Chain A
């Protein structure tokens, strides 16, 4: 087993996903199958290899500190599931 049900619960907590018991079981199984398949990566010695995070050799892409357009307030809030006084409303935080 690469990943236990407890790991799945922890990962779900970090991802803000609520899983049913059935879900936990299902994901533990399928994630295990995938992670086991990934084992083949351990056959490659990468100790002297640099990681590639960006595939193009770009650097120093900047914008100037010049003001542009802001979004019309009605459009900012148009998709809000719940709004009040020009803000996005959320339930109790703690």
Chain B
């Protein structure tokens, strides 16, 4: 372990987000993930000689929405540029991107890490096209004798969101990425699936002596495919740089790749590389002039964003910060919650069940909220059964599990299985009488002062009634009967 506490960590993130348009950014090919190799392509995205790009309007719309959700200034005048470099996954040997006039700039995002709130600056958001995919003959690119190029992903629209170097720890970096993902999901512009590559993150990391103003030399870390990977990669990189600095060495400005298996970052330097992208205005695309009226229209079309929504759940519905945080963590869950509350106005009870049984079952089966078979009205109906004392909490969990499994209505399950709680005193008195008569030892124990013995007797009554007896009532009747002996 080195003395990394001597240094302040400085992190900026560059996040690439695949937009969920139907078609690619400059041609009408589908953006669908997967599919047989080289079947989602046309002359335009293959970069054949002679083809020309035409901008998909929805890409611009989604980029502006992302900008608005991140409190950015939307550029009145914007344009595309070419970024030139050779690579077999890039069919034109240039990527159409935005250089000096991006569509959005100067935004901000509020995060919470280790209990502290903090605002992270957004430098810019720009639109660009994705590259293709290379399938390597070996397990890694370096051990492969050859590679195969699949251009299905070429031309899928991306936005790149660049943060200011405002993060100071791996936790903050992770919190930023999680919050960003949440917002993008809310505004419905991306699938934001890290494992499928629709959300990709590069981190610029540097260290400087505590108190120093100037930034240290940074390394850019790529290939982190999960939140956990981001956190681990940053932690590793901070240690690595601290050790070098401690030994009086200097950091090389370079790109490094996170090796998940070995848990280390590896230099991607190559002597053949020449980094000069020679950006220049894309002559095949004309400038974009965004009218303020359209920006307002898009602003009005944005849904309630996570912070706003969480505030409403806490302040209006009376949930705890913790519960509200979990529920608003995903737009789908928050909307599901709202729909249940609309049918059953006991937000706290709804929150308990959502954050308890519902999420437990979802996680256990690896499902998304949207894949749940439980209709919000049925969810509400079940909670009403409990409130009305018609079923016990324990029975309710059983019923809920069945609803979750099959999508059946609670009434049907309860009726089919005869689960309605017995709250009829007459009927229960008879059972109590039978149990008291059949367990003289326990009765004696109770009378001798072992109050716990009543628990056993309650259990016996519940067993006799197949769990349908109202537990409160059983307790009361048993106590009365035992006292009267």
Q: A–B direct touch, CB within 8 Å, in complex?
A: yes
Please give the residue numbers on chain A whose beta carbons come within 8 Å of chain B beta carbons, in ascending order. Answer: 10, 13-14, 16, 53-54, 56, 58-71, 73, 76-77, 84-94
Query: Which residues from B are CB-within-8-Å of A91?
Result: 145-146
Q: In the bound complex, do residue A70 and residue B29 qualify as a contact, i.e. CB atoms below 8 Å apart?
A: yes
23 contacts across the A-B interface (CB closer than 8 A):
A56-B286, A58-B287, A59-B286, A59-B287, A61-B286, A62-B57, A65-B21, A66-B28, A67-B29, A68-B29, A70-B30, A71-B41, A71-B43, A73-B36, A86-B39, A87-B38, A88-B38, A88-B151, A89-B146, A89-B149, A90-B147, A92-B145, A92-B147
Residue in B38, B55, B136, B144 whose Cβ sees the most chain A Cβ within 10 Å: B38
The 10 closest A-B pairs by CB, nearest first: A68-B28, A87-B148, A62-B57, A65-B58, A53-B281, A58-B286, A88-B149, A86-B37, A63-B54, A90-B88
Query: Which residues from B are CB-within-8-Å of A84?
Result: 148
Within 8 A of A (CB), among B281-335: 281, 283, 285-289
Q: In the bound complex, do residue B148 and residue A13 qualify as a contact, i.e. CB atoms below 8 Å apart?
A: no
Complex Cα spacing A71 to B47, Å:
13
Complex Cα spacing A85 to B28, Å:
25
Q: In the bound complex, do residue B22 and residue A16 qualify as a contact, i.e. CB atoms below 8 Å apart?
A: no
Q: In the bound complex, do residue A88 and residue B148 qualify as a contact, i.e. CB atoms below 8 Å apart?
A: yes
Q: In the bound complex, do residue B57 and residue A90 qualify as a contact, i.e. CB atoms below 8 Å apart?
A: no
Complex Cα spacing A75 to B55, Å:
25
Q: In the bound complex, do residue A85 and residue B286 qualify as a contact, i.e. CB atoms below 8 Å apart?
A: no
Query: Which residues from A are CB-within-8-Å of B135?
Result: 87
In chain B, what residue has the closest Cβ to A58? B286
Give the contact stretch, choosing among B270-278, B402-410, B417-425, B461-469. B270-278
Q: In the bound complex, do residue B57 and residue A85 qualify as a contact, i.e. CB atoms below 8 Å apart?
A: no
Query: Which residues from B are CB-within-8-Å of A94?
Result: 141-142, 270
Complex Cα spacing A61 to B147, Å:
37
Judge whether B60 is part of the interface by a CB distance below 8 angstroms.
yes
Query: Which residues from A are CB-within-8-Å of B361?
Result: none
Q: In the bound complex, do residue B39 and residue A63 qualify as a contact, i.e. CB atoms below 8 Å apart?
A: no
Task: Please give the distance in Å from A38's CB to the nearest CB on chain B.
Answer: 17
Judge whether B124 is part of the interface by a CB distance below 8 angstroms.
no
Judge whether B202 is part of the interface by a CB distance below 8 angstroms.
no
Q: In the bound complex, do residue A14 and residue B42 qualify as a contact, i.e. CB atoms below 8 Å apart?
A: no
Given A63-B28, A90-B147, A54 contacting B42 (CB threshold 8 A): no
Complex Cα spacing A56 to B56, Å:
21
Q: In the bound complex, do residue B57 and residue A63 qualify as a contact, i.e. CB atoms below 8 Å apart?
A: yes
Q: In the bound complex, do residue A70 and residue B40 qualify as a contact, i.e. CB atoms below 8 Å apart?
A: yes
Judge whether B171 is part of the interface by a CB distance below 8 angstroms.
no
Q: In the bound complex, do residue B148 and residue A71 qualify as a contact, i.e. CB atoms below 8 Å apart?
A: no
Complex Cα spacing A60 to B40, Å:
26
Q: In the bound complex, do residue B148 and residue A70 qualify as a contact, i.e. CB atoms below 8 Å apart?
A: no
Residue in B36, B37, B59 whose Cβ sees the most chain A Cβ within 10 Å: B37
Q: Which of B28, B36, B38, B147 contacts A67 (CB 8 A)?
A: B28
Query: Which residues from A are CB-within-8-Å of B146?
Result: 89-92
Within 8 A of A (CB), among B116-149: 134-136, 141-142, 144-149
Query: Which residues from B are CB-within-8-Å of A66?
Result: 22-23, 28
Complex Cα spacing A65 to B79, Å:
20
Q: In the bound complex, do residue A59 and residue B56 qualify as a contact, i.e. CB atoms below 8 Å apart?
A: no
Q: In the bound complex, do residue A69 and residue B30 qualify as a contact, i.e. CB atoms below 8 Å apart?
A: no
Complex Cα spacing A61 to B198, Å:
27
Judge whether B86 is part of the interface by a CB distance below 8 angstroms.
yes
Within 8 A of A (CB), among B221-269: none
Judge whether B172 is part of the interface by a CB distance below 8 angstroms.
no
Query: Which residues from B are CB-within-8-Å of A63?
Result: 28, 54-57
Within 8 A of A (CB), among B145-170: 145-151
